[in-house]
Amino acid sequence: MEIEHEEGKKRREMQQKVGELGIAEGDKIIGKNGVAYRILDFKLGLEYPGGGYFQVLVQRPGIPSEKGRLTFQELLEAQEAGVIERIEHIEQEKNE
């Protein structure tokens, strides 16, 4: 029981850190290696490793795009390692 509690706490902390990045559907995460991840959707849940994941369209130079997953843990590890070049936020158009 104690181990499950600690694991849940770690996953909530990861969710919070990812939330602080302000990533939303349509945004693009670009790595220093030229690989880009377009955010299609995301799933939150303590049952997922790292507290959640992003459904992404992986775009590599010279290779057709493919769908994949980017877990919150993978994203945070990439950020800490300094391999993310930038995050492009897509401006939401307001049609009001």
pLDDT tens figures, 43-84:
888 788 778 899 999 999 999 999 999 999 899 999 999 999
Indicate the number of domains in the chain.
1
On whether residue 96 sits in a domain, the answer given is no
On whether residue 76 sits in a domain, the answer given is yes
Contact (Cβ atoms closer than 8 angstroms) between residue 25 and residue 41? yes
Q: Which is higher by pLDDT, 44 or 3? A: 44
Distance CA 65, CA 21 (A): 24
On whether residue 93 sits in a domain, the answer given is no
Give the containing element (helix H, strand E) for 27.
none
pLDDT tens figures, 8-45:
888 888 888 888 888 889 999 999 999 999 999 998 88
Q: What is the CATH number of the domain that holds 17?
A: 2.30.30
Contact (Cβ atoms closer than 8 angstroms) between residue 90 and residue 27? yes
Residue 66's nearest CA partner among 78, 58, 74 is 58
Domain that holds residue 75: 2-88
| pLDDT for the residue numbered 32 | 92
Task: Determine if the pTM surpasses 0.85.
Answer: no
